[in-house]
């Protein structure tokens, strides 16, 4: 199948049908009307409106996320804004159905309302140039896209969103560090089609700069201004880079997936293949056979909003990995998984679990002011061998303190050491009373009783991105 035919088919599959619009209208419009009804009792509320992809008509068939914003007058105090949002949501949906979540300020989520997941988000009704909180931009974003999109661009935006979801780079949250829906829309607006976006990125030429409203006379300065090789200036806030959340890894994955799709187009890039989770005993045998050094660290997690939790987990992973490297262990790769309710599992693959007993350590140059001190320190024979001189520098052979990565990690996360690691306070407090457990390979496979972690471990062991795994 040629690529044009393929994309036409996918467009037809992901574009909402008349009955989909009717379902949204019959269920969501009464909800908005109810929120308006209860909001009208409070003078602080300016308006209630539908936002996000539903409002912009760039949503994908089968999507069930609904964003309803309550816009408050700018003089409203933050605590009043929060309490009124909570009160209105409770009136409309009932207290038990409402879950409070946190971003810049709290918002309410109703996980399942007749098949839809609804977020009730407060913001201030202010001009684009006088934002009081990050969520204040959203109504301006919606208005901008509605003013600049026609039916063709809506279809192209759906394609790009579906592609980024299929290759697992969609979502600007800290857990994913990928492409937001608004970023996808702006890229389509800039390059005019899904294919043009892929062709631009597949070139691999950085930086990638988009400034739709030409806020900056010289766009070449933008990588330095925003400290990024991927800059998309927010059309409603020139000081903001819409692509700021995209990590170098996610950008590179998108570039590589674009290159592969253009070479070997397939529907598989657009649809997440539901890999069957492997049983723990299967994973155990694979790890035992391959003799790879993958260490798992299972730790409890505090009750935190997802973005805060993932920020802390990723920071903890960086700290642990850096400490392993300082001891001389060669880290191949690392990642972290969590059920976001009770526990997390850090995975770290090493070239080898064990290091040699001895290590060659470099001293100062002979011409350095520290040369004599080094010679006096190790001259009496306190090193295993040396000191000796190679070219113009001192060297010794020293005995390592830690040769087993598992024993080192057990010490690192013990009560004797954990307080000095610089861990986030929420994790430190919990881990001091409940020490994380270490599972070396192949025992780490025993943790795969959770199906989601089983898939995560399987992908970690395989190493390939999902789209690469299914396309060859």
Q: What is the pLDDT of residues 200-250, one digit of tens each?
A: 999 999 999 999 999 999 999 999 999 999 999 999 999 999 999 999 999
Q: Has residue 463 been placed in a domain?
A: yes
Residue 7 has a pLDDT of: 98
- Residue 219 covered by a domain: yes
Q: Kindly report the backbone phi and psi dihedral angles of residue 135, in degrees, each rounded to the nearest multiple of 5, phi listed first.
A: -70, -15
Residues 20 and 69 reside in one and the same domain:
yes
Based on the fold, state whether residues 368 and 412 are members of the same structural domain.
no
Answer with the one of 88, 111, 134 that is the final residue of a domain: 134
Q: Do 390 and 426 fall into the same domain?
A: no
- 88 lies in a domain? yes
**CA 307 from chain center: how many Å?**
9
Do 319 and 378 sit in the same domain of this protein?
Answer: no
Q: Is 213 part of any domain?
A: yes
- Domain's final residue, options 96, 111, 134: 134
> Do 460 and 335 meet the contact criterion of CB atoms below 8 Å apart?
yes
Within this chain, do residues 176 and 230 fall inside the same structural domain, yes or no? yes
Q: Which CATH number fits the domain that encloses residue 410?
A: 3.30.70.590
Task: Indicate if 451 and 327 belong to the same structural domain.
Answer: yes
From the list 457, 463, 416, the residue with the least C-alpha distance to 439 is 457
The verdict on residue 373 lying in a domain is yes
Q: In what order do the strands lie in the sheet with 343-350?
A: 331-338, 343-350, 293-300, 437-439
Give the CATH number of the domain where residue 105 resides: 3.30.460.10
Please say whether the beta carbons of 266 and 5 come within 8 A: no
- Describe the crossing of helices 194-202 and 181-191 by its angle, rounded to 10 degrees: 90
Single residue among 104, 134, 164 that ends a domain in this structure: 134
In whole angstroms, give the CA distance from residue 262 to residue 394.
55
Whether residue 314 lies inside any domain: the answer is yes
Evaluate the CA torsion angle 193, 197, 202, 205 in order and state its sign.
positive
For 311-363, the pLDDT digits (tens) are 999 999 999 999 999 999 999 999 999 999 999 999 999 999 999 999 999 99
Q: How many CB atoms lie within 10 A of CB 301?
A: 19
Say yes or no: 9 and 118 in one domain: yes
| Contact call for residues 205 and 229 (beta carbons, < 8 A) | no
- CB contact at 8 A, 243 and 411: no
Strand partners, 110: 98, 118
Instruction: Classify residue 31: in a domain, yes or no.
Output: yes
Same-domain check for residues 236 and 286: no
Task: Please check whether residues 34 and 84 belong to one and the same domain.
Answer: yes
Stretches where the chain sits below pLDDT 50 are none
In 57-114, which ranges are continuous DSSP H helix?
Answer: 78-93
38: alpha, beta or left? (left if phi > 0; alpha if psi -120 to 50)? alpha
Q: Are residues 25 and 171 in the same domain?
A: no
Domain contains 139: no
pTM for the predicted model, two decimal places? 0.92
How many other C-beta atoms are found inside a 10 Å radius of the C-beta of residue 193? Answer: 17
Residues 6+ apart with CB under 8 A from 392: 365, 366, 367
Number of domains in the chain: 4
Q: What pLDDT is attached to residue 80?
A: 96
Query: Within this chain, do residues 163 and 242 fall inside the same structural domain, yes or no?
Result: yes
Domain holding 375, by residue range, is 358-399
Would you state the structure tokens that stand for residue 346, as one six-digit string? 């850090």
Same domain, yes or no: 234 and 260: yes
Instruction: Assign residue 232 a region (left: φ > 0; alpha: ψ between -120 and 50; beta: otherwise).
Output: beta
Residue 44: is the preceding peptide bond cis (ω within 30°)? no
* Residue in 81, 23, 28 with CA at minimum distance from that of residue 50: 28
Q: What is the CATH number of the domain that holds 261?
A: 1.10.1410.30
Question: Which own/partner contact pairs does 32-38 have at CB distance under 8 Å and 24+ positions apart?
Answer: 32/68, 34/92, 35/68, 35/70, 35/88, 35/89, 35/92, 35/120, 38/88, 38/91, 38/92
Strand ranges across the sheet with 65-72: 45-51, 65-72, 116-124, 106-113, 98-102
């Amino acid at each position: 199948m040629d690529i044009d035919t393929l994309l036409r088919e996918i467009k037809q599959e992901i574009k909402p049908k008349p009955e989909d619009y009717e379902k949204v209208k019959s269920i969501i419009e009464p909800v908005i009307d109810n929120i308006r009804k209860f909001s009208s009792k409070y003078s602080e509320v300016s308006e209630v409106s539908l936002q996000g992809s539903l409002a912009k008509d760039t949503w994908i068939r089968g999507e069930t996320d609904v964003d309803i914003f309550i816009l408050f007058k700018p003089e409203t105090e933050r605590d009043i804004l929060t309490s009124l949002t909570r009160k209105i949501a409770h009136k409309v949906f009932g207290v038990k159905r409402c879950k409070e979540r946190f971003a810049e300020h709290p918002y309410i989520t109703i996980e399942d309302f007749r098949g839809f997941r609804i977020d009730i988000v407060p913001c201030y009704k202010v001009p684009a140039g006088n934002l009081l909180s990050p969520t204040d931009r959203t109504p301006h974003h919606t208005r901008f896209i509605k003013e600049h999109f026609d039916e063709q661009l809506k279809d192209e935006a759906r394609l790009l969103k579906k592609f980024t979801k299929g290759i697992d780079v969609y979502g600007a949250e800290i857990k994913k560090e990928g492409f937001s829906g608004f970023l996808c829309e702006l890229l389509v607006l800039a390059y005019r089609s899904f294919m043009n976006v892929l062709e631009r990125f597949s070139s691999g030429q950085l930086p990638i700069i988009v400034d739709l409203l030409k806020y900056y006379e010289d766009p070449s300065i933008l990588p330095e201004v925003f400290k990024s090789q991927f800059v998309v200036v927010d059309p409603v806030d020139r000081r903001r880079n819409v692509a700021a959340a995209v990590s170098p890894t996610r950008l590179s994955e998108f570039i590589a997936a674009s290159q592969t799709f253009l070479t070997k187009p397939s529907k598989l890039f657009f649809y997440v293949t539901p890999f069957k989770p492997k049983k723990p005993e299967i994973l155990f045998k694979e790890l035992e056979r391959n003799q790879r050094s993958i260490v798992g660290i299972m730790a409890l997690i505090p009750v935190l909003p997802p973005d805060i939790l993932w920020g802390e987990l990723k920071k903890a992973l960086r700290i642990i990995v850096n400490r392993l490297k300082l001891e001389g262990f060669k880290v191949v790769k690392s990642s972290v998984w969590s059920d976001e309710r009770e526990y997390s599992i850090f995975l770290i693959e090493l070239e080898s679990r064990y290091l040699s007993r001895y290590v060659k350590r470099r001293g100062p140059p002979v011409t350095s002011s520290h040369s004599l001190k080094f010679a006096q320190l190790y001259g009496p024979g306190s090193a295993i061998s040396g000191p000796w001189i190679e070219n113009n520098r001192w060297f010794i052979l020293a005995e390592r303190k830690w040769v087993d990565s598992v024993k080192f990690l057990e010490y690192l996360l013990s009560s004797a050491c954990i307080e000095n690691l610089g861990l986030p306070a929420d994790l430190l407090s919990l881990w001091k009373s409940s020490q994380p457990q270490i599972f070396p390979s192949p025992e780490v496979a025993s943790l795969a009783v959770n199906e989601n972690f089983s898939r995560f471990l399987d992908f970690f062991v395989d190493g390939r991105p999902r789209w690469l795994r299914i396309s060859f």
